[in-house]
Structure 1
Amino acid sequence: MKTNFPFLILAMIVMASSCGQKDELTAKKEELAKMKSEAASLRTSIETLEKEIAVLDPEFGITNRKTVLISTTKPEKTHFEHFVEVTGSVLSKKDVNISGEVSGRIQEVNAVEGMRVTKGQVLARIDDESIQRNIEEVEKQMELASIIFEKQERLWNQQIGTEIQYLEAKNRKETLEKNLESLKTQKSKTLVKAPFNGTVENVLVRTGELVQPGVSLFRFVGDSDLFIEADVSERYIGILGKGDSVDIHFPSVNKDFTTRVSAIGGIINQNNRTFKVEVVLPNLEFAKPNMLSVLKIRDYENPDAVTVPNYLILQDSKGDYVFTVENGVSKKRYIQRGLTYKEITEVVEGLSGNEILIDKGFREVGDNFAVNIAQ
């Protein structure tokens, strides 16, 4: 068996070279890791030493600190208002149940749910056959009573007969006239009519059903006399009064308008500690009973308030603060906040309104940081 010595020698040389390169790479990696560890330790030592020197020499801390790029804004001097928002519901003073006034069987139902009708429009008919028969009978009796009365009256005018006969004939005729009028009125009530303009919300009866007086046939809601009712916390007793202005928002149609308080409840609901508030609702095309609304009740205002955006206010163990810029350096300014409404907070102490506040970059600075205002 022959051995290829040249090939064997070449393979050994390649393997030796590879091992040598691998040892060199490993050594370099170990050296780099050692240097990084030393650098990290050195940076930590440098930062610690800088902090210690900055405590002893504040000017050193300012000059050696990196400048932070920021943008600025100013507190706003404005008329600040705070509102309480409560949910209300549109109601109608003309939300009624319509019932029949006479007994009988439903002969016809003309109304359907959602139907808009005008005052006096017939919604249903009750069978009036028995009443019509009574009317016809009384009318016949009336004919005879009228003839008798006329003859008795002519005799009485001629001084013939007694006064009693004349009065009896007259009374008989007048009684029948009243009975006939009553029956005709009763017949008219077999027509169930809309009491005012509005919408038929529910139909509670069917053709052929037997109904009695007082039994609800329809639920009917009028177009006018709408109002909004809301429950307001008892903490606002005395703040809200009759006649006060109230802003109303309808979320479903994104509509707003201003109205006034028309009534305030005199009883506190012991279950949720609220009282009823009613506000006037003008005739609005989009307003429907049971529609959801939001009432904005103003409970505070300051015509000369200093305000800042909420997000600029930070907090530490000492309280609330904002960052201002003074001579190119950030300053922590402690404030006392008032009420907040729609992402704006009133500042009652700590700011006059002439300061320059740090806006963008306010979370990247601290007290006495050098800052650079972006142009």
Structure 2
Amino acid sequence: MKRVITIIIVVVVALGAIAYVLSNNKKKNEEKTAFIAKGGGAVAVRVATVEKKVVDMDFVANGNFAPKQELNFLSENAGRVTAINVDEGDHVSKGQVLARIDAEIINTDRETAQASYENAKRDEARYQSSYETGGVTQQQLDQAKLATRNAKLRLQASQRKVSDANIKSPINGIVNKRYIEVGAFVTAQGTQLFELVDVSKLKLKVNVNESQVASLKTGDNIAIKSTIFPDEKFSGKVTFIAPKADATLNFPIEIEVTNNTKNSLRAGMYGTAVFNFPKQAPSILIPRTSFVGSVSSNQVFVYDRAANVAKVRNVVAGRILGDNVEIVDGLKEGETVITSGQINLAEGTPVSIVK
């Protein structure tokens, strides 16, 4: 019983304390509001001086090198591998024979297609002669011509298969992986044979933010650095700028980089793109926090030193440069803008500067 009474007393005391605090806070807020309403109070704010500054547009971005051309080479014909002419790490040129497939069955198919084509041509010639003397109809002659065309197409397809028995490289590059051995059987459904990469030119993939991407265009020449080869100089050209930001609100871009004669750079290495821009003319800049609501509002509060009050000013915002915003029109160098406390301000509100 005593325990219950004790708990009740504690709860009552706690509720009384909470009520007292709330009542006291309400009284203070009312007094503060009345004091400001009479004109005797001031809202504490922070300010910044409007200045002209030279905008440094230069920046760097890090990324990874990727091969400009990368190909997983698949088989097109079924057969047994009879010869392999290259190994991993070998340089190959376009058209070079990498391996050979047993062409015995393929050659038999080609010979059969050749014989069928020759026979179809003879039949067409006989039908043509008979048609001229009235021995066959136009429809029969057309069917003979169609049979000849179909036989020719089958012959061309078989000749292509014979040619494909010699597996040739479609690009200049390096054999990065070899997936077959002599004696292995490959299928026409696409057995993986080789992985070829071309590193004579690479792509450096980096991400830039909204203020940086606005200064870029395809075709721009970019200096490239590699920490692995600090004494080597590389150059690149912007070949792709994403039209849409990714999930992190950055824009992926690609820079085509020419490798050196030794092909020192390899796919997967880190690289740094150095973006240098011409020197900019000084611009009026203010902190991004100066705007009422957001930058898109194009509205700030200016501190009137003579009257010691805040005044609303409409401005025209330009580029967003990190924590600063360029002002195209509406402010002059030397004026003072309010950077915090705007939520409590209206036209003519008295302010006090927090230093």
Q: Which TM-score band (shorter chain)?
A: 0.5 to 0.7
| Cα displacement (A) at 1:244 | 4.7
Q: Tell me which residue corresponds to 2:117.
A: 142
* CA distances 1:155-193 after superposition (whole Å, capped 9, x unpaired): 333344444443443333332222111211222223321
CA contact (8 A) 1:197 1:223 kept: no
Q: Tell me which residue corresponds to 1:335.
A: none
CA contact (8 A) 2:199 2:267 kept: no
Aligned with 1:138: secondary structure? helix
Q: Tell me which residue corresponds to 1:87.
A: 62
Cα distance between partner residues in 1 of 2:153 and 2:215:
60
One-letter amino acid of the counterpart of residue 261, structure 1? V
Give TM-score, length-normalised by structure 2: 0.53
Aligned with 1:93: secondary structure? strand
In structure 2, relative to structure 1, the CA distance for the partners of 1:161 and 1:110 (3 Å cut) is same
One-letter amino acid of the counterpart of residue 129, structure 1? E
Aligned with residue 262 of structure 1, among 230, 239, 244: 239
Q: Tell me which residue corresponds to 2:76.
A: 101
Cα distance between partner residues in 2 of 1:220 and 1:146:
43
* CA distances 1:270-289 after superposition (whole Å, capped 9, x unpaired): 47x75423223235324443
Q: Does 1:296 align with 2:274?
A: yes
Aligned with 1:281: secondary structure? strand
One-letter amino acid of the counterpart of residue 133, structure 2? Q
The gaps in structure 1 that reach 5 residues or longer are: 1-78, 305-375
CA contact (8 A) 1:251 1:293 kept: yes
Task: Report how many aligned residue pairs link the two structures.
Answer: 225
- Indicate the structure (1 or 2) with the bigger Cα radius of gyration: 1
In structure 2, relative to structure 1, the CA distance for the partners of 1:267 and 1:149 (3 Å cut) is closer
One-letter amino acid of the counterpart of residue 100, structure 1? S
Q: Tell me which residue corresponds to 1:193.
A: 168
In structure 2, relative to structure 1, the CA distance for the partners of 1:87 and 1:139 (3 Å cut) is same
Aligned with 1:98: secondary structure? strand
Percent of residue pairs identical: 25
Displaced runs of 4 or more, over 6 A: 79-82
Aligned with residue 151 of structure 1, among 122, 126, 129: 126
CA contact (8 A) 2:60 2:273 kept: yes
Aligned with residue 197 of structure 2, among 203, 221, 231: 221
* CA distances 1:89-131 after superposition (whole Å, capped 9, x unpaired): 3222311211112233323222211111111111122233222
Cα distance between partner residues in 2 of 1:90 and 1:125:
33
Cα distance between partner residues in 1 of 2:57 and 2:271:
19
Q: Does 1:249 align with 2:249?
A: no
The gaps in structure 2 that reach 5 residues or longer are: 1-53, 283-355
Cα distance between partner residues in 1 of 2:220 and 2:146:
63
In structure 2, relative to structure 1, the CA distance for the partners of 1:160 and 1:250 (3 Å cut) is same
* CA distances 1:132-151 after superposition (whole Å, capped 9, x unpaired): 21222232333433333333
CA contact (8 A) 2:242 2:252 kept: yes
Aligned with 2:105: secondary structure? helix
In structure 2, relative to structure 1, the CA distance for the partners of 1:143 and 1:284 (3 Å cut) is same
Aligned CA RMSD, in angstroms, stands at 3.4
| Cα displacement (A) at 1:205 | 1.8
Cα distance between partner residues in 1 of 2:186 and 2:224:
43
Equivalent residues in 2 for 1:9-48, closer than 5 Å = none
Q: Tell me which residue corresponds to 1:361.
A: none
Q: Tell me which residue corresponds to 1:358.
A: none
